[in-house]
Structures are given as structure tokens and as C-alpha cells.
């Protein structure tokens, strides 16, 4: 079973730990505040109170044994930077760090982080796209050109099959799955019939999706 170290158990770190637990990962949590550590105990494998900028404390955790280390500190960038650097010095396989500004991302990448997440920026982008059309239910940007969208089925598509719509040929968009009553079916065929009670998961260029769904 894969194991993850989460450092900084504020709101962001707590959500990460919960999700990793749901995915059946072994999660080790570290934070300076006792109340945060106690709060996360129900859904982590282990937790410890400590300062992540202290090399001895980090070393005692056996950093090399974790598949990834997530620095989720959000209230002290200096601590986040020092922690990322120490983790890499101690042999961390992969360091993922949180940034709240673009300049922080640059410093973290230069000082130990292998990847940087920017939750406020990513959530802002998701919210902006989500609000551009009533059809958009969810959105994942893969790069500057391609995205995956979950969209409600347009009224004019009701009762028509995927073959009849042929949006792959017309727009270069691939239908990946169909969701109905909360259940996602990825085993779709050309004869799959769409209805307004369903939503569809599509992959394509953002501009093509916008044109196809009149976004």
C-alpha cells in the first residue's frame, strides 16, 4: 500500500488527508498545532505534533519510506520553503508543495519541490469556466488546449444516439462516459441513447467544446 506524508493540517491539508484515506492510502500527518493533529486522527494512519523545519523531526519520520510528501502549509511560506528543501535533502522521492502566489511557485521549484499546486488559482479557473454555461457541471483542464468537461445533455440531443450526433467527426470531441443517477458508465457504444436525465463526460479542445455546446 502506498504511503503519503502530509505536512500542514489546515483546511487544505485536512481535505487532502481525508481524500487519501478514502483512496486507501496510508497517511502520516504532521503539524505544529495539537488541535489540528487531534482533528485528523480519525482518518490517518499516524499523526505527530512537530515543527517541519526541524531536520531531526523530519528525519525521525523516515522520509525515504514515503511515496510522496505533500507540503500543505498555507500560513507561513518561509516554513513551507524550508520544509520542501529539507525533505529533498533527506531523500524524499517526491515533494509536492502548495503555493498561494506565482512567485512562491518559482521559489518552491528551485528549493526542493518536484511539483507545485496552486489551489486558489485552480479553483478560480474552475469556478470561472463552470459559470460560463448552465451546461457545464464539472471541468478538468489537461493543458492550455485540451480539457475534460462534464456537461448536461442539450435538449436537442434528447433521444438521439452517439452515432447519430457524431460530434467526434464534426468537432473532434470524444464522449468518454455517460452519467445517470450519479453512476458513471464508461462502457459506451455508438448506439448509446442520450437523454436530458443524463450528463456526458467529453474530451476535446476547449474551443471545440465551446462551439459544440454554444458556450
Question: Which stretches of 90-151 are DSSP H helices?
Answer: 102-110, 119-130
Tell me if domain 3-117 and domain 123-212 are identical in fold. Answer: no
Handedness of CA 64, 70, 72, 76 (dihedral sign): positive
CATH number for 123-212: choose from 3.40.50.20, 3.40.640.10, 3.30.70.1450, 3.40.50.150: 3.30.70.1450
Whole-prediction pTM: 0.68
Q: Which pLDDT tens digits describe the chain residue by residue (215 residues)? A: 689 999 999 988 999 999 999 889 999 999 999 999 999 999 999 999 999 999 999 999 999 999 999 999 987 899 999 999 999 999 999 999 998 877 888 888 888 899 988 876 666 666 766 666 677 888 787 877 888 888 888 888 888 888 898 888 888 888 888 998 888 888 888 888 888 888 888 898 888 888 888 77
Domain spans of the chain, in order of start? 3-117, 123-212
CATH class of the domain whose range is 3-117: alpha beta
Amino acid at each position: 500500500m502506498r504511503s503519503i506524508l502530509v505536512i500542514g493540517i489546515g483546511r487544505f491539508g485536512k481535505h487532502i488527508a481525508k481524500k487519501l484515506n478514502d483512496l486507501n492510502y496510508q497517511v502520516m500527518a504532521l503539524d505544529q498545532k495539537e488541535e489540528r493533529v487531534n482533528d485528523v486522527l480519525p482518518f490517518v494512519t499516524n499523526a505527530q505534533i512537530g515543527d517541519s523545519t526541524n531536520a531531526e523531526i523530519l528525519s525521525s519520520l523516515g522520509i525515504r519510506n514515503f511515496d510522496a510528501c505533500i507540503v500543505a502549509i498555507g500560513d507561513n511560506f518561509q516554513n513551507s520553503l524550508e520544509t520542501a528543501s529539507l525533505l529533498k535533502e533527506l531523500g524524499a522521492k517526491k515533494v509536492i508543495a502548495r503555493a498561494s502566489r506565482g512567485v512562491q511557485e518559482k521559489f518552491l521549484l528551485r528549493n526542493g519541490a518536484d511539483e507545485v499546486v496552486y489551489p486558489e488559482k485552480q479553483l478560480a479557473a474552475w469556478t470561472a469556466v463552470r459559470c460560463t454555461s448552465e451546461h457545464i457541471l464539472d471541468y478538468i483542464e489537461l493543458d492550455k488546449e485540451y480539457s475534460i468537461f462534464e456537461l448536461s445533455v442539450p435538449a436537442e440531443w434528447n433521444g438521439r444516439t452517439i452515432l447519430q450526433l457524431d460530434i467526434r467527426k464534426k468537432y473532434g470531441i470524444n464522449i468518454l462516459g455517460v452519467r445517470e443517477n450519479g453512476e458513471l458508465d464508461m462502457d459506451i457504444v455508438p448506439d448509446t441513447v442520450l437523454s436530458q436525465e443524463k450528463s456526458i463526460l467529453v474530451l476535446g479542445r476547449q474551443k471545440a467544446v465551446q462551439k459544440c455546446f454554444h458556450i
